[in-house]
């Protein structure tokens, strides 16, 4: 049994691997080996709780509730910790296959819980366990700490000018101080940047003696000095500005520029945004997908949550679309009527982590009906350019060159989907009700008013829920390291069930939220979802999206096409265990939703 040395095995197994040496060595002295044959009952609900933490080395155990098996644990997975923490036996535990396990005594386990990282791994609450569980894999080297507060990026104190200063005086102050912006003392305070001097002075033909009040911008877009770097990125991308005054205790202590953030990392979203903004022509579009992949890999390796990264990717894609549509308008001439370019699916929900198929459409004002050929030409150019940038064609054809029309037509279409919810209508509603406008001046509130009527469309909601429940996790009893059921499709079995059901719940409470987590929160706020389910499902969703992104980046790094399917044998014991936890949480939630919507 030398090859099964328990101390060496546990030391290389997360979360034991990260324990301080003295703490682990103290606990290791009490570790023993347990052998149990198939069929042995290790625990019964309401009876004696576990006295050890069990770590499976070989074999398997099954967890039962009310006589029903809901999970099987295998090599590297642990059990008994809930019993040790609560002092109760809450599950029946039976040996499924001859078991070899390493056991850590309860007293030693309690001492190990003094280590915060170790304790988070064994948190009783599912949502807390999931938050702490994704391991950092060597996807990319990324030296920057994305949690660094922006105060550490400031290079100097803020520079101010008086409200009665002239444009010439402001330009001189900026030149003398070698800065790209100055703050203006007025009520409320304003800012003038080098871009303002180019666009509002030179391009507008203003003279140097004009007052600075004619070109300043206010109110200021500010951030607190304790804001982490990645959150400042978000603020810059969302606001469209290039300078953020930094506040400390209500006082401006400096100005953070896009250039400051660029210096913090060349692989961050600000750097990619700058490259997108300066794309000279469509000839420069190839390679965009590679830049997004490199940025995503760097941000994930830097510790960012996968859904935060998805938000950055969506903002960059929005900027690319605006650039592409700007080129098209330059070639075709001004739009004959207001319009909106809308994105759908994961892009509409701002949850796309790597570039996937195009999903977009065009809505134009009714007066543009006579000029449909202009919008068709716009769609053709934009869809073509997005393909050049790395967005494949949508296999289902949900692209602007096929889906464009006047606002009244779209309103009738939205209404028809809910009034006559046949299978085709339900499919298209599930796609288009995730829409988000990213370019154009057309007001889409008439479409929102249609969606807001969903709570009164009970047959539609019931069928939407039934369709959502067609996506479900596989039977957890069959999820084993060996055999044909060892593969999980992370999209079909975990991500889609959450996305589809969250959409239905949000519609049922009249919410206009688009993001999956926002939809869950809206449902909970309106009483349409239990608060415990919100926390568990939200973290399960974060976990699975992050796990998929991590695995797909590994595949890309190996020169393989990214896929959604994962073999359990390719996962670490922690990933495997937490994936099962996530799938179980989704199954429990779906059972509640089936009753709620009476889909049976």
Please write down the HEC assignment for all residues of 296-322: HHHHHHCCCCHHHHHHHHHHHHHHHHH
Q: pLDDT category, 133, cuts 50, 70, 90? A: low
Q: Reading across the β-sheet that carries 339-343, which strands appear in turn?
A: 404-406, 360-364, 339-343, 436-439
Q: Where do the DSSP E strands lie in 198-298? A: 223-224, 243-248, 251-257
According to DSSP, the residues that pair with 141 across neighbouring strands are none
- Extract the tokens encoding 115: 């280590």
| HEC secondary structure over 407-419 | HHHHHHHHHHHHH
The H or E element that residue 93 is part of is strand 92-105
pLDDT-based confidence at residue 1 (cuts at 50, 70, 90): very low
- Residue 580 tokens, joined: 């099962």
Residues contacting residue 558 through CB under 8 Å, at least 6 positions apart: none
Contact 587, 501 (CB under 8 A): no
Q: How far is CA 75 from CA 326, 390, 456, in A?
A: 56, 41, 50
- Are 211 and 166 in contact, with CB atoms under 8 Å apart? yes
Residue 233: Cβ within 10 Å count: 26
Q: Is residue 385 scored above 60 in pLDDT?
A: yes
How much is the average pLDDT of 279-287? 91
Query: What does the CA dihedral 18, 20, 26, 29 come to, rounded to 10 degrees?
Result: 40
Residue 484 has pLDDT above 60, yes or no: no
Which H, E and C letters describe 335-382, residue by residue? CCCCEEEEECHHHHCCCCCCCCCCCEEEEECHHHHHHHHHHHHHHHHH
Phi then psi dihedrals of residue 43, to 5 deg? -160, 150
Specify the higher pLDDT residue, 415 or 238. Answer: 415
pLDDT at residue number 269? 83
Q: Which domains does the chain have, with CATH numbers?
A: 2-124 (2.60.120.10), 150-264 (3.10.580.10), 271-416+425-435 (no CATH), 456-597 (1.20.120)
Per-residue pLDDT of 158-211, as tens digits, reads: 999 999 999 999 999 999 998 999 999 999 999 999 989 888 888 888 888 999
181-185 and 160-162 strand pairing: parallel
CA dist., res. 318 & res. 327, Å (int) = 14
pLDDT at 142: 38
pLDDT at 203: 82
Residue that wins the pLDDT comparison between 390 and 124: 390
Residue 251, class by beta-carbon neighbours within 10 Å (0-12 exposed, 13-18 middle, 19+ buried)?
exposed
pLDDT at 372 (0 to 100): 96
Phi first, then psi, for residue 299 (nearest 5°) are -65, -40
Best-predicted range by mean pLDDT among 51-55, 204-208, 269-273, 574-578?
A: 51-55
Per-residue pLDDT of 75-116, as tens digits, reads 989 999 999 999 999 899 999 999 999 999 999 999 999 998
pLDDT at res. 260: 83
Average pLDDT for 517-531: 89
- Cα torsion at 90, 95, 101, 107 (round to 10°)? 20
- Give the per-residue pLDDT at 477: 67
Q: What is the 3-state secondary structure (H, E, C) of 95-127?
A: EEEEEEEEEEEHHHHHHHCCCHHHHHHCCCCHH
Q: Which of 514, 449, 429, 599 is nearest to 522 (CA)?
A: 514
pLDDT at 483: 60
Q: Which residue has the higher pLDDT, 482 or 26?
A: 26
- pLDDT class for 138, splitting at 50, 70, 90? very low
Arithmetic mean of pLDDT, 315-333: 95
- Tell me: pLDDT of 442 over 60: yes
Q: Taking 80 as the threshold, does the pLDDT of residue 141 lie above it?
A: no
Distance CA 155, CA 140 (A): 28
Of 37-41, 221-225, 477-481, the one with minimum mean pLDDT is: 477-481
- In which element (H, E) is residue 325 found? helix 306-332
pLDDT score, position 47? 92
- C-alpha distances out from residue 468 to 417, 425, 497, 544, 594, Å: 16, 14, 6, 18, 10
pLDDT at 137 over 70: no
SS3 category, 404: strand
Phi-psi map region of 559: left, alpha, beta (phi>0 left; psi -120 to 50 alpha): left
CA distance 464 to 407: 24
Q: Answer yes or no: are the C-beta atoms of 59 and 96 closer than 8 Å.
A: yes
* Predicted local confidence at residue 136, as pLDDT: 44
Task: Record the pTM.
Answer: 0.82
Give the start-end residues of each E strand in 494-585.
565-567
Assess contact for 321 and 359: CB atoms under 8 A. Answer: no
> How far apart, in whole angstroms, are the C-alpha atoms of residue 352 and residue 349?
8
Contact (CB, 8 A) for 467 and 433: no
Question: Are the CB atoms for 300 and 309 separated by under 8 Å?
Answer: yes
The listed range with the strongest mean pLDDT (1-15, 315-329, 556-570) is 315-329
Most confident of 147-161, 380-394, 472-486, 516-530: 380-394
CA 193 – CA 196 distance, rounded (Å): 5
Of the candidates 389, 447, 457, 452, the residue with the CA atom closest to the CA atom of residue 419:
457
Q: Which residue has the tokens 């080297």?
A: 141
Q: For residue 222, what pLDDT is reported?
A: 94
Instruction: Name the residue among 484, 463, 467 with its Cα closest to residue 475.
Output: 484
Distance CA(448)–CA(446), nearest Å, equals: 5
Query: For the chain, what percent of residues have pLDDT higher than 90?
Result: 64
Task: Tell me the pLDDT of the chain averaged across its residues.
Answer: 89
The 3-class SS string of 579-593 reads: HHHHHHHHHHHHHHH
Query: Higher-confidence residue: 428 or 302?
Result: 428
N- to C-terminal Cα separation, the chain: 53
Q: d(Cα 127, Cα 27) in Å, to the nearest integer?
A: 27
DSSP summary character for residue 166: B
- Nearest CA-CA partner of 362 in 415, 310, 432: 432
Neighbour tally for 423: CB within 10 Å: 9
State CA 368 to chain mean position distance.
36
In the predicted structure, residue 384 carries a pLDDT above the cut 90: yes
For the record, the structure tokens of 369 come out as 């009906």
Mean pLDDT of 218-227: 93
- Residues 216, 231 contacting (CB under 8 angstroms): no
Q: Which residues contact 265 (CB under 8 A, 6 or more apart)?
A: 142, 144, 271, 298
Give the helix/strand (H/E) hosting 225.
none
User: What confidence score (pLDDT) does residue 475 get?
Assistant: 81
Instruction: Look at the chain and count its residues.
Output: 600
- Residue 519 in this model has a pLDDT that exceeds 60: yes
The pLDDT value given to residue 485? 59
């Amino acid at each position: 049994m030398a090859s099964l040395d328990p101390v060496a095995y546990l030391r290389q197994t997360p979360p034991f691997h990260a324990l301080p040496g003295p703490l682990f060595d103290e606990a290791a002295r009490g570790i023993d080996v347990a052998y149990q044959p198939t069929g042995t009952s290790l625990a019964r609900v309401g009876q004696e709780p576990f006295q050890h933490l069990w770590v499976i080395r070989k074999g398997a155990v099954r967890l039962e509730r009310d006589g029903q098996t809901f999970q099987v644990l295998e090599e590297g997975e642990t059990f008994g910790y809930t019993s040790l923490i609560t002092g109760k036996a809450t599950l029946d535990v039976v040996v499924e296959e001859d078991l070899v396990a390493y056991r850590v005594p309860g007293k030693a386990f309690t001492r190990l819980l003094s280590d915060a990282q170790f304790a988070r791994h064994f948190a009783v609450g599912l949502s807390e366990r999931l938050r702490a569980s994704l391991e950092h894999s060597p996807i990319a080297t990324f030296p920057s700490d994305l949690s660094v507060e922006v105060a550490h990026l400031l290079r100097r104190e803020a520079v101010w000018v008086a409200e009665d200063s002239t444009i010439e005086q402001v330009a001189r102050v900026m030149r003398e101080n070698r800065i790209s912006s100055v703050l203006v003392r007025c009520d409320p305070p304003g800012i003038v940047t080098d871009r303002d001097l180019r666009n509002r002075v030179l391009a507008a033909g203003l003279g140097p003696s004009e007052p600075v009040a004619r070109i300043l911008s206010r109110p200021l877009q500010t951030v607190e000095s304790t804001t982490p770097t990645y959150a400042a990125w978000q603020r810059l991308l969302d606001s469209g500005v290039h300078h953020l005054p930094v506040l400390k205790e209500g006082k401006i202590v400096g100005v953070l520029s896009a250039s400051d953030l660029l210096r913090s990392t060349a692989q961050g979203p600000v750097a990619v945004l700058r490259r997108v903004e300066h794309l000279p022509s469509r000839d420069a579009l190839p390679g965009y997908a590679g830049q997004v992949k490199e940025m995503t890999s760097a941000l994930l390796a830097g510790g960012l949550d996968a859904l935060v990264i998805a938000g950055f990717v969506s903002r960059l894609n929005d900027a690319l679309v605006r650039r592409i549509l700007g080129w098209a308008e330059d070639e075709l001439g001004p739009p004959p009527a207001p319009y909106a370019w809308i994105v759908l699916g994961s892009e509409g929900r701002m949850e796309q982590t790597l570039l996937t198929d195009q999903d977009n459409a065009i809505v134009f004002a009714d007066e543009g009906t006579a000029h449909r050929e202009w919008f068709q030409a716009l769609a053709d150019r934009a869809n073509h350019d997005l393909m050049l940038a790395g967005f494949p064609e949508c296999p289902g054809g949900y692209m602007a060159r096929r889906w464009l029309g006047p606002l009244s037509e779209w309103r009738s279409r939205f209404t028809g989907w809910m009034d006559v919810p046949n299978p085709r209508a339900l499919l298209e509603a599930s796609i288009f009700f995730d829409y988000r406008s990213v370019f154009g001046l057309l007001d889409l509130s008439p479409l929102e008013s249609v969606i807001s009527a969903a709570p009164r469309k009970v047959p539609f909601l019931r069928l939407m829920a039934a369709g959502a429940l067609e996506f479900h996790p596989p039977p957890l009893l069959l999820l084993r390291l060996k055999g044909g059921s060892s593969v999980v499709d992370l999209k079909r079995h975990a991500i889609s069930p959450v996305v589809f059901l969250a959409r239905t719940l949000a519609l049922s409470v009249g919410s206009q939220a688009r993001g999956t987590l926002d939809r869950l929160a809206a449902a909970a706020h309106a009483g349409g979802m239990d608060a415990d389910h919100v926390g568990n499902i939200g973290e399960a969703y974060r976990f699975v999206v992050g796990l998929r992104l991590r695995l797909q980046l590994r595949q890309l790094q190996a020169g393989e096409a990214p896929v959604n399917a994962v073999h359990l044998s390719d996962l670490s014991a922690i990933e495997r265990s937490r994936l099962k936890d996530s799938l179980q949480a989704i199954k429990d939630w779906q059972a509640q939703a089936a009753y709620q919507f009476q889909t049976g």
